[in-house]
Amino acid sequence: MRLPCLLQPRILKQALTALFSRPYTTTFPKTPYEPIPQFRGRPRYNEKECIGCGACAEVCPSKCIDLVDDLGGATPVRRLVQHLDQCIWCGQCERYCPTKEGIKQSTEWDCVGFKREDFEEKVEKELLLCEVCGSVIAPVDQVRWLVKQLGPLAYTNPTVMLVAGRDLAIVDEGVKAEAENPLRADRLMIQCPRCRRKTAYAV
């Protein structure tokens, strides 16, 4: 005779085990969900470690990082804004960040907000401008990072050398060359590559 389903030993054992076990499902949202440490969640900038190079914006496949050089204020700045609503959490920004710490994926997964700014991650870096033509060279922090990477070789480039010298307070800020028409003697200025070539060829 075929027993009713619940009286079959295997099913009965499973039913009794389930009756005296804890629920398999989680009690979210009563107990917040804790993702594993390797979880690839919302990317966050680290203001201290980011050098403003813009590599993250270059490699982002969904183009969700805007890079704007703002020269209008009292201090020229590079602004990087990551838009969470376009982010696919792929991790390319973190992978290609030269400092490896400038942007990192957090374990944040519950991204709720009521304003557009809640979905924007920003970082701002002061820009270094050419003293001759005023064009953007790089963020100051990027040049400082270069100084550390190059070591003594940093002193082969006058622009990098001057940034390092300013940090050591050994550069006389009062000495300015004729910016309109720099001469060969003015090579020791902060210059973009184009102006540096001009002063190298000047007499």
Give yes or no for residue 143 binding ligand SF4 (CB under 6 A).
Answer: no
Residue 93 identity (one-letter amino acid): C
Give yes or no for residue 43 binding ligand SF4 (CB under 6 A).
Answer: yes
| C-beta closer to ligand SF4: residue 51 or 190 | 51
Give yes or no for residue 76 binding ligand SF4 (CB under 6 A).
Answer: no
Question: What residue spans of 20-139 are helical by DSSP H?
Answer: 55-59, 92-96
Give yes or no for residue 127 binding ligand SF4 (CB under 6 A).
Answer: no
Q: Cβ(184)–Cβ(200) under 8 Å? A: yes
Give yes or no for residue 137 binding ligand SF4 (CB under 6 A).
Answer: no
Q: Cβ(103)–Cβ(44) under 8 Å? A: yes
Smallest CA-to-CA distance from 101 within 90, 113, 93, 109 is with: 93
Least distance in Å: CB of 43 to ligand SF4? 5
Kindly give the interhelix angle for 158-167 and 140-150, rounded to the nearest 10 degrees: 100
Give yes or no for residue 93 binding ligand SF4 (CB under 6 A).
Answer: yes
Give yes or no for residue 60 binding ligand SF4 (CB under 6 A).
Answer: yes
- Binder among 55, 127, 160, 164 for ligand SF4 (CB under 6 A): 55
Contacts (Cβ under 8 Å, ≥6 apart) of 154:
146, 147, 160, 161, 164
3 state SS of 102: coil
How many other C-beta atoms are found inside a 10 Å radius of the C-beta of residue 46?
A: 13
Give yes or no for residue 146 binding ligand SF4 (CB under 6 A).
Answer: no
Least distance in Å: CB of 163 to ligand SF4? 17
Which window, 53-61, 69-77, 128-136, 190-198, contacts ligand SF4 (CB under 6 A)? 53-61
Least distance in Å: CB of 5 to ligand SF4? 49
Residue 14 identity (one-letter amino acid): Q
Q: Cβ(33)–Cβ(26) under 8 Å? A: yes
Give yes or no for residue 82 binding ligand SF4 (CB under 6 A).
Answer: yes
Site of interaction with ligand SF4 (CB under 6 A): 43, 45, 50-56, 60, 62, 64-65, 80, 82, 87-93, 97-99, 102-103
